[in-house]
Each structure stands twice: as structure tokens, then as C-alpha cells.
Amino acid sequence: MSEYRQKKIAMINDLSGYGRCSLTVAIPIISAMKVQCCPVPTSILSNHTGFPVYFFDDYTEKMPSYIEKWKELDLSFDGIVSGFLGSEAQIAIVMDMIRKFGGEETRVIIDPIMGDHGQTYATFTPSMCRRMKDLVSMGDIVTPNLTEACILTGRPFRKKGWTREELKTMAADIQAMGPESVVITGVNQGGYLVNVVAEGRREVTFPKTIRVGQERPGTGDVFSSVVAAAAVRGWDLEEGVRLAASFVKKCIRRSEELDIPAANGVCFEELLDVLVRAVHQG
Ligand SMILES: Nc1ncnc2c1ncn2[C@@H]1O[C@H](COP(=O)(O)OP(=O)(O)O)[C@@H](O)[C@H]1O
Ligand SMILES: Cc1ncc(COP(=O)(O)O)c(C=O)c1O
């Protein structure tokens, strides 16, 4: 029998049927990296909210019974990943799930989705932001974008002009809240996007990729799915971030080549072989 044991991630996120985001991105990407992805749906939408109309069914009340069955079955996970959460109740449910399933060997990865471009999302109230800080404190790896990092640390948002020293201190402030490691994504620097990688006590690094194409929904989900799968596979965080950033860039480029409307996200399906190869080599 092989000594290899396949890894599994419990992925808490919404299911948007059309538009490539959240679970419809996470499941194929994590699977391509040879990690089993087990969804915990937070809500079901016909398509993401960037379209003019959508059907939305909140799953909050059903989540505890769903998760309880996993406990009765004595399931365990190498990773628990949380993505978009729609209410304080959902944040509390995720915290409870981490308490129940998070062992020594379980990497808890929190994408503290709260806002972008210096603004919180309309659904995010100040008390949800406070609760998100409690959830962040339970994470091993946290992946805020620059806006979210500012919200978490109480800093005023600036679109650009961040020095490395400022970014290092901001990452350290988030680490001081509990997580071992932090990735601050989407920091603008000229024509580049920088990811600030603070992994444990290692020297902070600033890998950057050239910014391409127009903004598309779901790129954050693509990025955090690759980072999460790489983390449970035991990669160094910086390696996972480099793969994630280069993959997002390739997906945006390919989407532009194929003239995919921006609302439809990125056509990552065209490029899953990149992840399969990276896992073979890694
Ligand atoms: N237009 C882009 N060109 C190249 N890389 C991108 C682009 N947009 C996003 N990325 C990559 O994906 C990462 C996550 O994107 P970001 O927009 O920060 O996520 P979120 O959706 O969480 O705000 C970025 O740090 C960057 O590495
Ligand atoms: C329900 C839902 N989930 C996820 C996303 C994707 O978010 P992001 O672009 O931050 O990855 C969207 C974007 O509109 C959304 O409406």
C-alpha cells in the first residue's frame, strides 16, 4: 500500500451557479491540486451579485445540522478554509466548526472577505467586522486584501504609496491577533501587484506580479484556493503565493484572449493543467 495520504479541505463558501466565484472556483482548483475539496455552502445563488439580477437562498439555519452530521461521521480535515460569510451568525458557526474540527494538524485558512478598494461591502456591518477579527484570531493563515488588512488593523486606507516597513508592521499587527502567517494581497506598486508574505518568524517577502487586464470577480477565490491547497500539501507559504499569483495572472490573460465578459470571471478551466504540473513538480 502507498504511504501517500491524500489531503482534504473543508471549504466554507457560497455556491454561485454562474459567474465563476467561491465554490465553483474552489472545488475544481483544489481538486486539480490533488486535494479533496468538501464544500460547506453558506448560501446558494443562481449567479454572483455582480449581475443585474440573482436568486439568493441563505443557508445559515441549515449549516449547523450539516456540520453536525460531519461530526457524527467523525470526519477530519487537513484544512478548513472560510471564504465569503454573509452574517454574524455565519461567522459564529464557522468559529464553532473550527473549535470542533480544528486539530493540531489542521491548517485553518481565513479569507476575511469584508471589502475592496478602501470600502466595506454593503452587507458588512461594523459589528460583523468586529466578529471577523475574532474569526481571524483562530486562523493559521489569513489572506486579507489591502482594504481588509486596513480594516483589521484600524488603519486608514490608501490606494498606493505604502512602504515596505509599513506593510511589514501591518502584517505583524495581524499576526499579533493570532495567525501564524499572513498574506496581504493586491498592493499596488506601479504596474505591479505585490503580495506581502509574512510566514511565521521568517523575514517578510514581497513577491510581485505584473498587473494585467481588467478587474474580474472571483480572482480572490482563485488566489486563496491555490494558497490553501498548497498549504495543506505542505508547501512554504511563499511558494503557494507565487503559484497563486502567477496562476491568477495567466487566467486573466487567457480570459482577455478569449474575450470572456468580465462579469463571467476568469476562465481558469483552460489552465488547470498548470496547477496539475506544479503539483507534480512540487
Ligand atoms: N489584474 C491582475 N493582474 C495580475 N494579478 C492579479 C490581478 N488581480 C489579482 N491578481 C492576483 O491575485 C491576488 C488576489 O487578488 P485581490 O484582488 O487582492 O483579491 P481579492 O478579490 O481578495 O480582493 C493579487 O494579490 C494578485 O497576486
Ligand atoms: C456571492 C459572491 N461570492 C463571491 C464573489 C466573488 O468575490 P471576489 O471578486 O472578491 O473574489 C462575488 C462577487 O460578486 C459574489 O457575488
- Across the range 6-20, mean pLDDT stands at 98
* Ligand 2 atom nearest residue 48's Cα: 16
Query: Residue 62 has what DSSP assignment?
Result: G
| Nearest CA-CA partner of 87 in 58, 48, 111 | 58
Query: To test the ligand 1 pocket, which listed residue (20, 25, 114, 223) has its Cβ within 8 A of the most ligand atoms?
Result: 223
Predicted pLDDT at 103: 87
d(CA 24, CA 84): 13
Give the mutation target among 12, 13, 18, 22 for probing the ligand 2 site: most ligand atoms within 8 A of CB: 22
Distance 185 CA to ligand 2 centre (A): 16
The CA–CA distances, whole Å, from 122 to 107, 113, 125, 156, 219 equal 30, 12, 8, 18, 20
CATH code assigned to 6-279:
3.40.1190.20
On whether the CB atoms of residues 249 and 209 are closer than 8 A, the answer is yes
CA-closest residue to ligand 1 atom 19? 220
Which residues are within 8 A (CB) of 28 and not within 5 positions of it... i.e. 6 or more apart? 268, 269, 272
Confidence bin at 193 (pLDDT 50/70/90): very high
DSSP state, residue 262: G
How much is the pTM?
0.97
What separation in angstroms does the CA of 178 have from each of 11, 70, 115, 156, 175? 21, 27, 21, 22, 5
Q: How far is the CA of 197 from the centre of ligand 1 (A)?
A: 14
Percent residues over pLDDT 90 in the chain: 94
Instruction: For residues 21-38, give the mean pLDDT.
Output: 98
ipTM: 0.94
Q: What percent of the chain has pLDDT over 70?
A: 100
Domain boundaries along the sequence of the chain:
6-279
Q: Which amino acid is at 58?
A: D
Q: Is 195's C-beta closer than 6 angstroms to any atom of ligand 1?
A: yes
